[in-house]
Amino acid sequence: MFEGVGMSKLALVGLYSALCLLVSCQSASVMENKTMVNDGSHTESDAVRVATFNVSMDASNYLPRGTAPDAHSAKRLREELERGDNPQIKAVASIIQSVRPDIILLNEFDYTDDYEQAVALFQEHYLTKPQQGKEAVHYPFVYSAPVNTGVLFPYDLNGDGTISAPVDTYGFGYYPGQYGMVLLSRYPIDKPSVRTFQTFKWRHMPGALQPLNPNGSTYYSQRAWNELRLSSKSHWDVPVQINGDTLHLLASHPTPPVFDGEEDRNGKRNHDEVRVWVDYISGDANYLYDDNGAYGGLSEGEKFVIVGDLNSSTVEGDGHKGAISALLESDRVTDPKPASHGGAEARANNPHSRYHTAGWGMRADYVLPSSNLRVLNAGVYWPAQNEPDASLVVNRAASSDHRLVWVDIEL
């Protein structure tokens, strides 16, 4: 196709190689050249990087091996944050400093009444200190709220004659706030307009997948079913103000669809927790009430990003695939399909592995922008073995059993 232009084949090959290298470098630099500033202004472009990261920072991660958490364990995270020398938390901070998101949801960051102090310690002793040669980052705006994990249920759920954690709780947890969530942002958070759905009753969802025993009887007693909340942690709609525009961060962390029996209580709950967002963005959420008693979902035309460890995949895992499939196929959502070299390398014979976000081999974590947002780039932070910082993602002890997922959008 280049005949007659007076250029040798050798020169053409060189030109082609140079162009490929240029494109590759430009793609890589989208992440490497992103810089964090504290005043909310941007540098090179109007792109906003949104991320989610299950950081495995619940207190059970900092107890002696073989020790079960209890009601007194909630203080352990605070102790590690105050010391500032925990290698796992330093690795988490290093990963965040590498990717440098503008907005990031942290799953499994324990919630306490003084969460703002805990987050301040995390920023002071970890994020604002360069880790492994990375540049410090800082997030001036923070949001968190109570979750259902570890909150005692009023009745004996498992029938052992006592009401105790973690089995007799609204969401599995040894103490209130375990496996909580925190949102960090460079942009102002409109806290008065935040909606939370912690106390929404599961039975109030039309067509709820109520757990049943093999003989067809209900797994939960009628009294328990009447009180059981749907969200195992919580569901949040957090509006963030970006240069005069509003971006709704829809955050959650549904229960893993495992650790149950033939009644499939966790699998069905996971499905319906994911389904909340399907209804919330599609105009089918007239039944859904928030913790202030307001009903309904997002208005058509609102801009949003769904973020969190959804513990659900369309092709892998033990969960029901209907809700996650409906979410990814919704015309209100763009699925950027973030990928990584490390994920592909970890399971080379699995055609889906490049999209995995969990070390055990599944796409579990999502950043899903609304279809009225332009997606510029996306990725999963999972370096291959021959790439820098591969040691940060060796296992859960190194940082987390999940990987940070990020998407660049343009409002």
- The full set of domain ranges for the chain reads 34-410
CA R_g for the chain: 22
Nearest to 176 by CA among 200, 142, 156, 153: 153
Q: Backbone phi, then psi, for 144, in 5-degree steps?
A: -150, 170
Report which DSSP code applies to 60. G
Q: How far is 60 from 109, CA to CA, in rounded Å?
A: 11
What local confidence, expressed as pLDDT, does residue 322 receive? 98
Question: Which amino acid is present at 150?
Answer: G
Architecture of domain 34-410: 4-Layer Sandwich (3.60)
What local confidence, expressed as pLDDT, does residue 72 receive? 85
| Mean pLDDT per 10-residue interval, the chain, length 411 residues | 35 39 36 34 69 96 91 90 97 98 98 95 98 97 98 92 95 97 98 98 98 96 96 98 97 97 97 98 97 97 98 96 98 98 96 97 98 98 96 96 98 88
Q: Backbone phi, then psi, for 53, in 5-degree steps?
A: -155, 115
Report which DSSP code applies to 225. H
What local confidence, expressed as pLDDT, does residue 71 receive? 85
pTM of the entire predicted model: 0.89
DSSP lists the bridge partners of residue 288 as none
- Per DSSP, the residues of 173-202 read -SSTTTT-EEEEESS-B-GGG-EE-TT-BG
Other CB atoms within a 10 A radius of the CB of residue 297 amount to 22
Per DSSP, the three-state class of 369 is strand
Q: Backbone phi, then psi, for 288, in 5-degree steps?
A: -85, 125
What local confidence, expressed as pLDDT, does residue 45 receive? 63
Q: CB-based burial of residue 411 (10 Å sphere; 0-12 exposed, 13-18 middle, 19+ buried)? A: middle
Q: Let me know: does 310 contact 366? Beta carbons within 8 Å.
A: yes
